[in-house]
Each structure stands twice: as C-alpha cells, then as structure tokens.
C-alpha cells in the first residue's frame, strides 16, 4: 500500500488509527512456508497475542494457518473466527487446571508447561493427548522481557526435569503427542536456535508417540532500512535438513510447527497519529501526538524503535525531533529522530505497528482505544470502531446513593 493511501485512511477514519495490510501478511506467510517447503508436514500456528482482531485471524485462516493461543479468551476468538479446534494450540503459563480443562473440552491441543499441572491433568484425563513445553535453557531472544528460555525463566519444564517428566507420563499413562519450546523473540543467531532445537530432538527420543515438534517462534524482523533480521531462508534450509534426518531416525512422520506472531504481522501494521503540538524547548523539539503509551507501549516497555515517518510532508527537509505522547508520565516514542519537518496537524506514521501494539493498548488516562482498519484488495475496511466515552463507562457500576 502507498503512503497516500494511509493519508486518505486518516481522512476517512480519523486519528489515531491502526492500519494493517493483508497483502503484507500473506507475503510473510508465504515466505515462511516456502523456506520449509521440503518438510511434508509443516504447520504455522499464528500467535494470536500479537494482534487478535478477528478479521486478522480470518486472513490467516484463509492462508492455511492454525493458531497459537495463551488464554481461553484467545481460544474463543479463534473459534469465533471459524478455526477448527484441532488447528489451535493452547500454550498457557501459570493458568489454573480448571481453565486448561475447559479448553481441552473445546477440542483444542493442550500444551502444558509445568510438572504440577501435568501430573494433575494426566491423572484426571489420561486419554487427552498433551504437548509439553520444554525449557532448553538457552539464552536467546532480544530484550530481557522477551527472552524466555533461559535458566531463570518461569516458562516451560526444565530440561533437567526430564526424568521427573517421564515418570509422570509413565505413572499416569498419559499420551504425549507433541513437544514444544519457545526460547524468546528477536533471536538474531540462527545457530543458537539450532542448538536449542538439538536439545528438543534429544528430548523427543524419549517419547514414542509424538505427532509434532513445535519450535515456537523468535524470528526477528527489521525495524528500519538495513536493520538485521532472521535469515528465514537459511534457517529453513538448515533446520529442514536436520528435521528430516531426525524424522527418519524417529521412525514415524512428524509435523514441524512454528508459532510466529511478529514475523507475520509486525511489518503489515502502521500506526497513524496527528501532531497536536510542536514544542521547542531548551534541549530539543518535541512533536506531541494525539496518542501515547496507552496505544503503543512497546517503546516504553521494550525500548523498541519504531521507524517514524511524516507522511504529510514526506519530502520535507529533515530535522531532529523527540516524538512524545500525551500521557501524564514520560511517554517517549522516539528521541533525537531525523524526521521530515513537522508542522502541527501533520500525520506521523509509526512502522512495524502490527505486532504487540493494539493488542497491548489500554484505556490509561481514560482515553478511548483507536480504530483499526484492514487494507484489503486496494480498499480500507473498518475492523474495529474507535471506542467512545460509553466504552469507558461500560463496566463501571455506580454505588447507589454515593
Ligand atoms: C509461546 C509463544 N509462542 C509464540 C510467541 C510469538 O513470538 P513472536 O511474536 O516473537 O513471533 C510468543 C511470544 O511471546 C510466545 O510466548
């Protein structure tokens, strides 16, 4: 889609606005499946947490994707979008046995990440096949908050607990049909990933009835021109070779699965904001936009650097700006950024706004959440209305007489 299309969409749907390009999602999906085309049973489970709008889920369903979910609500969204429960994987962390049982009743593939729940679930439901999430203790991933496979991480069953895990399986006679790992997001080094995969292959040998191995995610996407990204093609070649050898050794057909979020939707998303004020101070020029970390928290949470473009004046002379939000705390989207000269009323476009942006938004400062638009077949489709003040009040209960 073109810059002018984005300007037009703000005119039509207002600001701030999230826009997602369906074609870009498809390109990423095809790129991944092509990289693993030599694996007969290859499956992508889109990580719903990245961007959970039902229309986005439907775009991915059309492409042939399954879903990776972490809550019963995400499972329900997937079912609502028309996914077959068998194509949904449920990978919760720290949820109750009751929630896991409810999800299992829906026919969704359960993935358990601790021995306590595994033992209880296996005792109560030995006939329901379960996947286990292994923590290979490999330090991978970008920011510390998204690096989840290391020794101090709360995720997964430690590889060192394998004897106990096997004992539970033996005692309960439960059926382990898959093994899984997710070591973190933004993995830069393919070899680190392959090293973790090796640990998973070793672990897999202990389970005789596996149907699939799920390698989680971790694909790094570029955030600006010439930024580093995971070389998916090279990774596909290397892992495919190793996987096919393992499959032969294992002696039974296996599905190779991934559950990317960011890789599929990050670059498809644009966040459009209007500049309310340009403020010159003694140290910088602030461009204050009609949004804040209530709508896009990643720069404050992870230090993520979203490329920002002034689409009202794309060819303008560049100056240095600090782009900030309207929240009553430090709310910096970008510092000392070169951006084409900004005037009040201009539209700033934040790139890589597809993953973990709207899905992490809140009503902080009692602000409404933005609208979302899907760009499909050359046209913008409203897929979520902008909230109104009624939404802010909706679930509040007023105490009588107060
Ligand atoms: C279990 C699991 N799978 C997949 C993902 C998706 O990761 P990414 O968006 O980096 O592809 C996450 C992200 O937190 C996750 O926790």
Specify the pLDDT at position 141. Answer: 53
111 lines ligand 1 (CB under 6 A): no
Residues 273 and 236 in one domain: no
pLDDT tier at 166 (50, 70, 90 boundaries)?
very high
Q: In this structure, what CATH number is given to the domain that contains residue 297?
A: 2.40.37.10
- In this predicted structure, the answer to whether residue 5 has a pLDDT above a threshold of 60 is yes
Specify the pLDDT at position 143. Answer: 55
pTM of this structure: 0.95
Residue range 47-63, pLDDT digits in tens: 999 999 999 999 999 99
109 lines ligand 1 (CB under 6 A): no
| CA 134/CA 210 separation, integer angstroms | 14
How many angstroms does the Cα of residue 218 sit away from the middle of ligand 1? Answer: 7
pLDDT tier at 285 (50, 70, 90 boundaries)?
very high
Token couple for 387 = 């909230």
Any domain includes 10: no
Specify the pLDDT at position 226. Answer: 84
How many angstroms does the Cα of residue 185 sit away from the middle of ligand 1? Answer: 6
Any domain includes 211: yes
Task: Assess whether 328 carries a catalytic annotation.
Answer: yes
Residues 81 and 146 in one domain: yes
Specify the pLDDT at position 138. Answer: 80
Name 364's Cβ contacts closer than 8 Å, sequence gap at least 6: 292, 293, 294, 327
Q: Which of 221, 239, 263 is the last residue of a domain?
A: 263
Any domain includes 398: no
Residues 83 and 223 in one domain: yes
260 lines ligand 1 (CB under 6 A): yes
Pairing assessment for the beta strands 379-384 and 371-376 based on DSSP bridges: antiparallel
Domain limits at 64? Answer: 22-263
Specify the pLDDT at position 142. Answer: 55
Residue range 92-143, pLDDT digits in tens: 999 999 999 999 999 999 999 999 999 999 999 999 999 999 998 886 555 5
355 lines ligand 1 (CB under 6 A): yes
What is the DSSP annotation of 75-117?
HHHHHHTT--GGGEEE--SS--HHHHHHHHHTTPEEEE--HHH
Residues 226 and 323 in one domain: no
Residues 70 and 114 in one domain: yes
pLDDT: is 229 or 48 the higher one? 48
pLDDT tier at 345 (50, 70, 90 boundaries)?
very high
401 to 87, 319, 393, 398: CA distances (angstroms): 51, 56, 18, 9
What mean pLDDT is predicted for residues 379-385?
98
Contact 363, 386 (CB under 8 A): no
Residues 192 and 288 in one domain: no
Specify the pLDDT at position 190. Answer: 86
Mean pLDDT of the residues in the chain: 95
Q: In this structure, what CATH number is given to the domain that contains residue 29?
A: 3.20.20.10
> To which residue do tokens 């439907």 refer?
58
Q: Which of 243, 263, 283 is the last residue of a domain?
A: 263
What mean pLDDT is predicted for residues 75-87?
98
Given the residues 131, 328, 349, 357, select the one marked as catalytic. Answer: 328
What mean pLDDT is predicted for residues 351-358?
98
What atom in ligand 1 is closest to the CA of residue 91?
1
Q: Given ligand 1 and candidates 50, 89, 264, which is best to mutate, with the most ligand atoms within 8 Å of its CB?
A: 50
Count the domains in the chain: 2
Residue range 232-280, pLDDT digits in tens: 999 999 999 999 999 999 999 999 999 999 999 999 999 999 999 999 9
Reference 291, options 364, 234, 218, 356; nearest CA is: 364
How many angstroms does the Cα of residue 127 sit away from the middle of ligand 1? Answer: 28
Specify the pLDDT at position 280. Answer: 96
């Amino acid at each position: 889609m073109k810059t002018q299309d984005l300007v037009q969409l703000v005119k039509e749907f207002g600001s701030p606005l999230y826009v997602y390009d369906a074609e870009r999602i498809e390109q990423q999906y095809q790129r991944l499946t092509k990289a693993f085309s030599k694996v007969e049973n290859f499956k992508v489970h889109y990580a719903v947490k990245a961007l959970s709008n039902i229309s986005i889920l439907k775009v991915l369903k059309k492409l042939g994707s399954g879903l990776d979910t972490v809550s019963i609500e995400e499972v329900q969204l997937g079912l609502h979008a028309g996914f077959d429960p068998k194509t949904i994987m449920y990978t919760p962390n720290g949820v109750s046995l009751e929630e896991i049982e409810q999800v299992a009743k829906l026919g969704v593939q359960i993935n358990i990440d601790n021995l306590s729940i595994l033992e209880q679930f296996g005792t109560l439901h030995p006939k329901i096949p379960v996947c286990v999430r292994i923590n290979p203790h490999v330090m991978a991933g970008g920011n510390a908050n998204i690096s989840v496979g290391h020794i101090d991480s709360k995720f997964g069953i430690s590889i060192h607990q394998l004897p106990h895990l096997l004992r539970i399986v033996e005692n309960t006679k439960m059926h382990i049909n898959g093994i899984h790992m997710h070591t973190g997001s933004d993995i830069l080094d393919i070899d680190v990933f392959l090293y973790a995969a090796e640990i998973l292959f070793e672990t897999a040998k202990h389970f005789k009835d596996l149907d699939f191995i799920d390698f989680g995610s971790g694909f790094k996407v570029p955030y600006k021109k010439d930024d580093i990204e995971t070389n998916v093609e090279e990774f596909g070649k290397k892992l495919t070779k190793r996987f096919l050898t393992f499959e032969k050794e294992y002696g039974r057909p296996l599905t190779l699965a991934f559950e990317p979020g960011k890789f599929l939707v990050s670059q498809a998303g644009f966040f459009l904001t209007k500049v309310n004020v340009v403020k010159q101070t003694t140290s910088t020029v602030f461009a204050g936009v009609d949004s804040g970390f209530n709508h896009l928290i990643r720069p404050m949470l992870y230090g993520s650097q979203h490329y920002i473009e002034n689409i009202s004046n794309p060819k303008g002379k560049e100056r240095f700006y600090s782009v900030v939000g309207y929240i009553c705390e430090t709310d910096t989207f970008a510092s000392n950024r070169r951006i084409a000269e900004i005037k009040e009323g201009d539209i700033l476009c934040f790139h890589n706004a597809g993953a973990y942006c709207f899905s992490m938004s809140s009503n902080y400062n009692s602000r409404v959440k933005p609208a979302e638009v899907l760009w499909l077949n050359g046209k913008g489709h409203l897929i979520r209305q902008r909230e109104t003040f009624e939404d802010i009040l909706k679930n509040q209960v007023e105490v009588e007489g107060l």
